[in-house]
């Protein structure tokens, strides 16, 4: 694991976008693993700007998102499909047919199985972008006292995650209680992982992930066992290291 600390979130975004640019230029049909949340938004804005400037070409890029709420239609403003379209896909030259977000509708168990198979068929994820939850979750893989869950699965969100995500809904009761999430195995199978964390609120989870033991109680701690992972942090997120 390599840890890089930047002055602020703009510099984190610039560093992350440069990694995307170099990987896509080396392999134009790169398979990206993408994340939602507040943290990656500045990175997506940099990617949009670089695409406009002709510095990144998404025309052959394929993408698989980490997660989606169970029960939300893709056009629901709080769905992760909607987020990805609004924050990135609508503004770059990616072919939407090459973008994938797990479906939280219908038979979600079956969707979960099909998602892992589709990623495998695409040749696996080349570059996985991650955020980190206040409780150390990655994707929607919440702390679990027993084990890491390896396959894409249907997860029950913890009260702290529901609370953290309530800002995107009218009321906290509207936040779905379940989500479908790429599993820890799917994340760890990525050839390269970059985790972004910004702000003081993430400092404890970052500290535990970087300096604590590997434990399913802090899902991000497993990243220490990956051979090509970089944490890109701003000074506040790194303040307890
Ligand atoms: P955030 O979410 O970027 O909105 O803080 C990160 C996460 O929960 O993984």
Q: Among 120-129, 155-164, 226-235, where is mean pLDDT lowest?
A: 155-164
Task: Kindly give the distance from the C-alpha atom of residue 172 to the centroid of ligand 1, in angstroms, as a whole number.
Answer: 17
Residue 239, C-beta contacts closer than 8 angstroms, at least 6 positions apart: 200, 203
- pLDDT value, residue 168: 87
User: Which of ligand 1's atoms lies nearest the C-alpha of 137?
Assistant: 9
Task: Indicate the pTM of the whole model.
Answer: 0.97
d(CA 238, CA 4): 9
Q: Hunting for tokens 């390599």 — which residue is that? A: 2
On the question of pLDDT at 197 being above 90, the answer is: yes
d(CA 123, CA 233): 29
Q: 228-239: string of b/e by CB count within 10 Å (b at 16+)? A: ebbbbbbbbbbb
Annotated catalytic residue within 142, 208, 234, 236: 142
- Beta strands (DSSP E) in 76-206 are 99-100, 127-130, 153-156, 178-181, 192-197
Confirm whether 142 is a catalytic residue. Answer: yes
- pLDDT value, residue 157: 93
User: Which of ligand 1's atoms lies nearest the C-alpha of 39?
Assistant: 3
Contact 20, 56 (CB under 8 A): yes
> Which residues share a beta bridge with 234?
6
Contact 148, 187 (CB under 8 A): no
On the question of pLDDT at 36 being above 90, the answer is: yes
Task: Kindly give the distance from the C-alpha atom of residue 136 to the centroid of ligand 1, in angstroms, as a whole number.
Answer: 10
Confirm whether 67 is a catalytic residue. Answer: yes
Out of 164, 201, 203, give the residue to mutate to test ligand 1, the one with the largest number of ligand atoms within 8 Å of its CB: 164
Q: Whose CA is nearest to atom 7 of ligand 1?
A: 133
DSSP structure string for 23-92: HHHH-TT-EEEE--SSTTHHHHHHHHHHHHTTS---TT-EEEESEEETT--TTSTTSHHHHHHHHTGGGS
Task: Kindly give the distance from the C-alpha atom of residue 203 to the centroid of ligand 1, in angstroms, as a whole number.
Answer: 13
On the question of pLDDT at 35 being above 90, the answer is: yes
Query: Considering the chain, what percentage of its residues have pLDDT values greater than 70?
Result: 100
Contact 115, 16 (CB under 8 A): no
Nearest-5° Cα angle at 151, 136 to 118? 120
Q: Which residues' Cβ are closer than 6 Å to ligand 1?
A: 37-39, 131-133
Q: Identify the band that residue 76 occupies on the pLDDT scale cut at 50, 70 and 90.
A: very high
d(CA 18, CA 39): 16
Which of 105, 103, 193, 205 shows the shortest CA–CA distance to 164?
205
């Amino acid at each position: 694991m390599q840890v890089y600390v930047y002055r602020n979130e703009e510099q984190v975004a610039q560093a992350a976008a440069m990694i995307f640019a170099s990987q896509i230029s080396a392999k134009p049909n790169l398979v990206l693993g993408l994340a939602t949340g507040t943290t990656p938004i500045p990175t997506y804005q940099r990617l949009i700007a670089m695409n406009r400037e002709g510095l990144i070409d998404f025309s052959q890029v394929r993408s698989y998102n980490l997660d989606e709420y169970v029960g939300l239609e893709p056009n629901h403003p709080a769905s992760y499909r909607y987020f990805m379209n609004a924050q990135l896909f609508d503004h770059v030259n990616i072919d939407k047919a090459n973008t994938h977000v797990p479906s939280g509708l219908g038979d979600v168990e079956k969707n979960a199985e099909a998602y892992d198979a589709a990623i495998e068929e695409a040749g696996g994820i080349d570059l996985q972008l991650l955020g980190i939850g206040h409780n150390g979750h990655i994707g929607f893989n919440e702390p679990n006292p027993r084990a890491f869950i390896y396959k894409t699965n249907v997860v029950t969100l913890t009260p702290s995650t529901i609370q953290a995500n309530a800002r995107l809904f009218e009321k906290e009761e509207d936040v779905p209680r379940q989500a479908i999430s790429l599993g820890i195995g799917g994340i760890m199978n990525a050839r390269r992982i970059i985790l972004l964390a910004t702000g003081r609120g993430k400092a404890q989870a970052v500290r535990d992930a970087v300096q604590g033991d590997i434990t399913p109680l802090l899902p991000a701690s497993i990243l220490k066992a990956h051979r090509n992972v970089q944490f890109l942090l701003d000074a506040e997120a790194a303040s307890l290291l």
